[in-house]
């Protein structure tokens, strides 16, 4: 009777299928609701995330599964799979007669397509449910080819606990991708979905082994099956890959679930080696001290390793805080860019003599780290020794607001204490917040010869991104020459004996809260931070300690074949300073008026509190012409604290607003003098 009902249902379903298919399409939402995965540059998993109900359901392609698994699955579950139309009448009738005879059910009559339908829309095992599965199976065969249907099954099949899909099961039980399954491993994964809880190998290894062996003996030739029967059954679950967890979380959170696969430029072998290196380094530090490392390729800006902490699950070190993106004080790590801009502006030369001695800047008297002064030194020596007074003098000549604007235009914004809109001279010594990834971007630009290109984490992000000028090639070459001459910390070979030349700079923040070191070789830039994530001081560690970790990272890059030792740094010799730059002035280059903000330099248009009307044209608003009077070119223009552009020769600048509203316009000249006005735009 049941067989007749099923037969009639099949005939009617096929006849009405075109109409029913339009009215009630199959629900593929469970198939599409897969675990977000973050992949390295070779497609290997860095980290995966469960779906909302806590299930590991990793996406898998039909072609990424071992052929021997597919063959065993089809022979064991549905030997006529490749020829039937979703329902196998012979198997269905056999199941019905077995049930009627009261014998043990060897086969439930469900084809792989019917099982796929049940996985897509789970229902109680009743006769009405079976009829719906039959209809859905025929429907699936109408819409998809055999490989596509199997791919759905391979994604949704249950394998015990919170594992769904052959990829999650293969990684959890065997620590490998399903493409590499052996015959014995494949047989176990064929057997598990029939009874995933009762046959879990980590809980019931004997049952799992017996089920696996039945598959082997039934589907494989005797000699192959005999050999596979001796293979052990895994008795514990492996943790799924867990590398670059901070980056993975960042990418998935930023994407808001729109993408299921996130492709990065991370190299998993390098990432894994550096994670171990950082953990071992931190193990020698106090329990609350952590560390972070970022490795980028100089030419492309691609990030190949990203370690946000010394241990993601280390609560003592606040391991889930991502120190790559956290705002930290850079200490002296910003000094090279002060010098680079001074070189570019022609207010200093590496051989310029500068006085390192007691100096007063508006009531502030900076001192050196060792609290001693050196006297006359060259600018190059001042940078190599990280002397504070010369750096502040040069920043005073550039103007701290202009310096900050240039960094922000390069893609490395600073955050100033107390929410201040414009910086002051202590920026030279770390008196601002910056992210480690922003420091890496700036040093990568120097290594590249002065052009900046944004750092890229996702594959494809840099393909259409052109490099922009940050420093002149000459200034970058001089900086590289100077930084390559900095003495390495104790215990490391001097630069002249090292296998690869590295230019680097360290930084120690006020109160010993942060120790940083950023360096570059011909191929890579490595940025390192060491400190307490809560910002508490740790006086036993300074920038040189971070430099030690940085140099070990470079050693790993070289040992792993990532470094091309035949290529060298883009250095440039500098010789003697021209006559006009032989000595840096003892006093500030700025006039008292310019240093105070400039009585002569001011914005001429728009005036303070102006209310301007703007018209739309071509999908945007017409430009507002900004104009400043007096001042030394170039002029940097900022709107609401963000750089908009530079007037190199003229006093005017065309600003393109995005919407009406209140704005603060700021102009900064080459000496650092600045003026601001508040305006209101309306349509």
Active-site residue among 110, 170, 329, 332?
A: 332
Please report whether residue 104 resides in a domain. Answer: yes
The CATH number of residue 619's host domain is: 2.60.40.10
The CA-based diameter of the chain, rounded to the nearest angstrom, is 109
**What integer is the mean pLDDT of 606-631?**
84
> How many CA atoms does the CB half-sphere of 386 hold within 13 Å?
22
Domain that holds residue 85: 2-36+44-229
Q: What's 131's domain CATH number?
A: 1.10.3810.10
Distance CA 28, CA 161 (A): 22
Q: Would you say 625 and 652 are in contact if contact means Cβ atoms under 8 Å apart?
A: yes
225-255 pLDDT, tens per residue? 999 999 999 999 999 999 999 999 999 999 8
Question: Distance between CA 19 and CA 150 in Å, rounded?
Answer: 25
Any idea what the Cα angle at residue 191 is, between residues 186 and 196, rounded to 5°? Answer: 120
- Mean pLDDT across 422-427: 89
Question: C-alpha distances in angstroms, 407 versus 188, 461, 675?
Answer: 58, 21, 19
Residue 77 designated active-site: yes
Predicted confidence at residue 21, as pLDDT, reads 72
52 is catalytic: no
Which of 206, 229, 252 is at the close of a domain? 229
The predicted model gives 91-111 an average pLDDT of 61
Strands 503-508 and 514-520: antiparallel
CA-CA distances (angstroms) from residue 201 to 6, 69, 197, 227, 549?
A: 36, 18, 9, 20, 42
Q: Which among 35, 77, 110, 297 is annotated as catalytic? A: 77
Q: Would you call 313 exposed, middle or buried from its count of C-beta atoms within 10 A (0-12, 13-18, 19+)?
A: exposed
- Does the pLDDT at position 338 exceed 90? yes
Q: In the predicted model, what is the mean pLDDT of residues 38-50? A: 96
As a whole-number percent, the residues of the chain with pLDDT over 90 amount to 62
Reported as a single tens digit per residue, the pLDDT across 355-413 is 998 888 877 888 887 778 889 999 999 999 999 999 999 999 998 999 999 999 999 99
| Dist CA 354 CA 370 (whole Å) | 18
Structure tokens of 571? 């250095």
Q: Which residue has the higher pLDDT, 525 or 95?
A: 525
Domain edge (last residue) among 214, 229, 244: 229
Backbone angles phi, psi at 163, to 5 degrees: -100, 125
Measure the CA–CA gap between 662 and 674, rounded to whole angstroms: 20
The verdict on residue 468 lying in a domain is: no
Catalogue the E-assigned strands of 216-363. 261-263, 290-297, 303-307, 327-328, 353-356
Paired sense of beta strands 56-57 and 163-164, if any: parallel
pLDDT band at 9 (very low <50, low <70, confident <90, very high): low
**560, 269 contact by CB (below 8 A):** yes
Could you tell me if residue 645 is inside a domain?
yes
Six-digit token string for 622: 């017409």
| pLDDT single digits (tens) 119-163 | 999 988 888 888 888 999 999 999 999 999 999 999 999 999 999
CB neighbour class for 464 (10 Å; exposed up to 12, middle 13-18, buried from 19): exposed
Residue at a domain's end among 204, 229, 254? 229
Pairing label, strands 652-655, 290-297: unpaired
Phi-psi region at 106: left, alpha or beta (left = phi > 0; alpha = psi -120 to 50) = alpha
C-alpha–C-alpha distance, residues 327 and 343, integer Å? 28
Number of independent structural domains in the chain: 2
pLDDT, average across residues 601-619: 84
**What pLDDT score does 599 carry?**
55
């Amino acid at each position: 009777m049941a067989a007749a009902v099923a037969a009639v249902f099949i005939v009617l379903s096929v006849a009405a299928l075109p109409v029913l298919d339009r009215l009630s399409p199959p629900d593929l939402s469970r198939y599409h609701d897969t675990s977000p995965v973050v992949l390295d540059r070779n497609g290997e998993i860095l980290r995966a995330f469960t779906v909302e109900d806590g299930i590991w359901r990793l996406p898998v392609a039909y072609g990424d599964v071992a052929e021997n698994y597919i063959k065993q699955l089809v022979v064991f579950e549905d030997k006529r799979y490749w020829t039937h139309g979703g329902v196998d009448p012979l198997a269905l009738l056999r199941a019905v007669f077995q049930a009627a005879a009261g014998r043990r059910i060897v086969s439930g009559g469900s084809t792989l397509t019917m099982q796929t339908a049940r996985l897509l829309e789970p229902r109680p095992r009743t006769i009405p449910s079976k009829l719906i599965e039959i209809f859905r199976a025929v429907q699936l065969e109408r819409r998809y080819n055999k490989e596509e249907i199997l791919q759905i099954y391979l994604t949704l099949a249950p394998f015990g606990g919170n594992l769904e899909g052959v990829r999650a099961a293969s990684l959890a039980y065997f620590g490998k991708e399903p493409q590499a399954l052996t015959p014995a491993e494949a047989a176990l994964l064929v057997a598990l979905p029939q009874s995933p809880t009762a046959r879990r190998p980590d809980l019931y290894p004997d049952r799992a082994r017996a089920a696996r062996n039945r598959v082997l003996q039934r589907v494989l030739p005797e000699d192959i099956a005999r050999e596979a029967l001796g293979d052990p059954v895994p008795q514990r679950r492996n943790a799924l890959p867990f590398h670059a967890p901070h980056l993975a979380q960042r990418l998935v959170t930023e994407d808001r679930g729109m993408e299921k696969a996130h492709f990065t430029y991370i190299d998993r072998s390098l990432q894994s080696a550096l994670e171990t290196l950082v953990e071992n380094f931190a193990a020698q530090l106090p329990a609350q001290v952590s560390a972070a490392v970022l490795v980028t390729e100089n030419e492309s800006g691609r990030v190949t390793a990203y370690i946000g902490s010394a241990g993601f699950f280390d609560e003592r070190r606040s391991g889930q805080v991502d120190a790559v993106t956290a705002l930290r004080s850079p200490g002296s790590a910003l000094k090279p860019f002060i010098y680079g801009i001074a070189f570019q502006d022609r207010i200093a030369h590496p051989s310029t003599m500068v006085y390192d001695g007691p100096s007063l800047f508006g009531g502030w008297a900076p001192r050196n780290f060792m609290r001693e002064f050196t006297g006359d030194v060259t600018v190059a020596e001042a940078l190599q020794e990280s002397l504070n007074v010369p750096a502040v003098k040069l920043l005073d000549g550039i103007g701290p607001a202009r310096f900050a604007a240039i960094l922000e235009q390069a893609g490395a914004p600073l955050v100033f204490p107390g929410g201040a809109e414009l910086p002051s001279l202590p920026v030279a010594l770390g008196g601002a917040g910056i992210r480690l990834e922003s420091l890496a971007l700036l040093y990568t630009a120097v290594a590249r010869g002065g052009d900046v290109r944004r750092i890229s984490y996702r594959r494809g992000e840099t393909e259409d991104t052109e490099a922009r000028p940050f420093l002149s090639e000459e200034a970058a070459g001089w900086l590289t020459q100077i930084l390559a001459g900095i003495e390495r910390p104790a215990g490391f070979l001097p630069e002249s004996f090292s296998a690869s030349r590295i230019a680097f700079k360290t930084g120690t923040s006020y109160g010993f809260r942060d120790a940083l070191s950023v360096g570059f070789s011909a191929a890579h830039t490595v940025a390192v931070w060491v400190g307490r994530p809560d910002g508490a001081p740790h006086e036993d560690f300074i920038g040189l300690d971070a430099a030690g970790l940085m140099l070990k990272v470079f050693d790993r890059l070289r040992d792993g074949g990532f470094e091309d030792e035949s290529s060298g740094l883009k250095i440039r010799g500098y010789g003697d300073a021209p006559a006009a730059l032989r000595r840096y002035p003892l006093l500030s280059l700025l006039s008292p008026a310019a240093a105070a903000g400039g009585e002569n330099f001011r914005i001429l248009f728009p005036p303070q509190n102006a209310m301007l009307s703007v018209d739309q044209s071509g999908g945007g608003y017409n430009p507002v012409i900004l104009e400043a009077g007096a001042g030394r070119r170039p002029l940097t223009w900022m709107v609401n604290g963000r750089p908009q552009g530079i007037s190199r020769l003229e006093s005017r600048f065309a600003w393109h607003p995005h919407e009406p509203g209140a704005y603060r316009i700021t102009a900064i000249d080459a000496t650092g003098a600045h003026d601001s006005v508040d305006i209101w735009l309306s349509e």
